[in-house]
């Protein structure tokens, strides 16, 4: 049986790759799905902690322009949308709850 520790190690290994391949992303998605099914409550708590931590640090610098915003000023709209579409497809496979949250924010009127 796969332990939670084994899954954490496998996830960390995939996330630690500097240039992930499609195969790496598929493995990572599978590891997250298995972890979500076997350890659902703990995994949701970890995601919430990461989101809260990221939110705190991304807003703490006040007047600073984020690295992301600086980067997107250097590409045209079509290239930006292509990159974001690819990113969102990856997020949908790896973290469907995060994807759904982003889509809810984008589609609320």
Considering the entire predicted model, what is its pTM? 0.41
Q: What is the mean pLDDT of residues 49-78?
A: 69
42, 86: one domain: no
Residues 4 and 47 placed together within one structural domain of the fold: yes
For residues 75 and 59, membership in a common domain is answered with: no
| pLDDT value at residue 69 | 82
The average pLDDT across 54-78 equals: 71
Tens of pLDDT, residues 22-53: 888 888 888 888 888 887 765 556 666 666 65
pLDDT confidence band for 7 (50 / 70 / 90): confident
Both 29 and 44 in one domain: the answer is yes
For residues 94 and 55, membership in a common domain is answered with no
| Domain with 77 in it | 65-109
| Same domain (yes/no): 69, 40 | no
DSSP the chain: ---HHHHHHHHHHHHT-SS--HHHHHHHHHHHHHHHHHSHHHHHHHHHHHHHHHHHHHHTTTTPPPHHHHHHTTS-HHHHHHHHHHHHHHHHHH-HHHHHHHHHHHH--
Q: What is the pLDDT of residue 80?
A: 86
43 and 18 in a common domain: yes
Number of domains in the chain: 2
């Amino acid at each position: 049986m796969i332990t939670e520790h084994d899954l954490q190690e496998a996830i960390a290994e995939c996330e630690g790759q500097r240039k992930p391949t499609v195969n790496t992303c598929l493995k990572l998605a599978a590891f997250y799905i298995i972890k979500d099914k076997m350890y659902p409550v703990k995994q949701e708590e970890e995601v919430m902690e990461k989101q809260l931590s990221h939110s705190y640090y991304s807003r703490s610098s006040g007047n600073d322009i984020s690295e992301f915003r600086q980067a997107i000023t250097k590409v045209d709209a079509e290239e930006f949308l292509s990159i974001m579409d690819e990113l969102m497809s990856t997020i949908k496979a790896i973290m469907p709850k995060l994807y759904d949250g982003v889509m809810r924010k984008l589609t609320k009127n």
